[in-house]
């Protein structure tokens, strides 16, 4: 097999921060020829269902549905405490009323949608939006509420919106685990040596970014939806952490918990038992 790999990531600051050193050749890529695609996470989720990219960022809820085709890497995850999606609106709603209102979601295959269903299993009046359009849809009253992710976590209050629920906090309080949001996965049929090589390369790229925080700023800002430097930095600080360098035992347990909950709630078809990290 050729060493050329197709790799999909999102343009969000945590991804561009972590992958900057690889994309811009700041570290030795060890002979790997990598073709990068920057796409919205829900578009990446859809491509993952079609098995289109060799290596890709995707939502953990999507990963739970495609265990037969992809393996989770140790490095590159967005996972942690107090970093989950927020359910926001212009008005305060009682929890019982959430089941009746029209809610914008950033894609049906996102972990954000999974968490909304986990907290409000009877809330079925959902509308798909590009994540960056959700705040505007709420402000314009096209929807009653919305689940926001990424940089919007830091900007919704400036748009006159209020938090109804931190869905990540709800997950943490209910399960005791950090919330697995996004993952980097690799096709199962990629040679084992290449899987390990890329996983190590990504860890090196993340460490380079952490050790040289100024190095990636121009590249990250070029692709960020919110251009304010402080918002970009808050985003990186929140979503790039010890779990990003190495998922570790606690991270693996959290991923297992999410997969088991999706099965318990009947949200996905039964999947074969898999070792969560195999590289």
- Give the integer Cα–Cα distance in Å for 155 and 136: 12
Q: What is the mean pLDDT of the chain?
A: 92
**Could you tell me the pLDDT band of residue 204, with boundaries at 50, 70 and 90?**
very high
β-strands 126-128, 78-80 pairing: unpaired
Query: Is 150 marked active-site?
Result: yes
- The residue-averaged pLDDT of 211-218 equals 96
Q: Does the pLDDT value for residue 277 go beyond 50?
A: no
**Could you tell me the pLDDT band of residue 193, with boundaries at 50, 70 and 90?**
very high
CB 113 within 8 A of CB 126: yes
* Least reliable range by pLDDT among 23-27, 31-35, 268-272: 268-272
The catalytically annotated residue of 37, 124, 150, 223 is 150
- Give the integer Cα–Cα distance in Å for 190 and 229: 38
CA distances from 141 to 104, 126, 130, 145, 146 (A): 11, 14, 16, 8, 11
Q: Is 175 helix (H, G, I), strand (E, B) or coil?
A: helix
State how far Cα 225 lies from the chain centre.
15
Residue 66 has what DSSP assignment?
A: -
Residues in the chain: 279
Q: Model's pTM, two decimal places?
A: 0.89
Q: Residue 79 is inside which H or E element, if any? A: strand 78-80
Q: What is the pLDDT of residue 268?
A: 75
State how far Cα 209 lies from the chain centre.
19
Question: Considering just the CA atoms, what is the radius of gyration of the chain in Å?
Answer: 18
Domains identified in the chain and CATH numbers: 4-80+179-264 (3.40.190.10), 86-175 (3.40.190.10)
pLDDT tens-place string over residues 257-272: 999 999 888 887 655 5
Q: What is the pLDDT of residue 228?
A: 85
- Give the integer Cα–Cα distance in Å for 182 and 72: 11
């Amino acid at each position: 097999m050729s060493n050329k790999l197709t790799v999909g990531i999102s343009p969000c600051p945590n991804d561009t921060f972590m992958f900057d050193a690889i994309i811009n050749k700041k570290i030795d890529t060890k002979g790997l020829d990598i073709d990068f695609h920057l796409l919205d996470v829900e578009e990446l989720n859809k491509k993952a269902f079609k098995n289109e990219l060799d290596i890709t960022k995707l939502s953990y809820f999507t990963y739970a549905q495609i265990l037969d085709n992809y393996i989770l890497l140790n490095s590159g995850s967005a996972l942690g405490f107090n970093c989950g999606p927020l359910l926001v609106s212009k008005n305060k709603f009682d929890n019982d009323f959430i089941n009746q209102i029209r809610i914008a979601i950033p894609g049906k295959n996102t972990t954000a949608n999974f968490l909304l269903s986990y907290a409000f299993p009877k809330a079925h009046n959902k509308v798909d939006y590009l994540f960056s359009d959700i705040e505007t849809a709420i402000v314009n009253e096209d929807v009653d509420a919305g689940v926001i992710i990424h940089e919007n976590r830091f900007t919704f209050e400036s748009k006159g919106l209020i938090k109804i629920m931190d869905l990540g906090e709800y997950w943490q309080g209910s399960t005791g685990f950090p919330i697995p949001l996004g993952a980097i996965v690799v096709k199962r049929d990629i040679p084992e040596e290449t899987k390990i090589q890329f996983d190590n390369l990504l860890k090196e790229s993340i460490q380079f970014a952490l050790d040289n925080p100024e190095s990636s700023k121009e590249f990250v800002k070029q692709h960020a939806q919110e251009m304010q430097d402080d918002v970009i930095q808050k985003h990186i600080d929140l979503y790039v952490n010890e779990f990003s360098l190495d998922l570790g035992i606690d991270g693996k347990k959290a991923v297992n918990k999410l997969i088991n909950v999706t099965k318990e709630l009947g949200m996905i078809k039964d999947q074969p038992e898999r070792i969560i990290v195999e590289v």
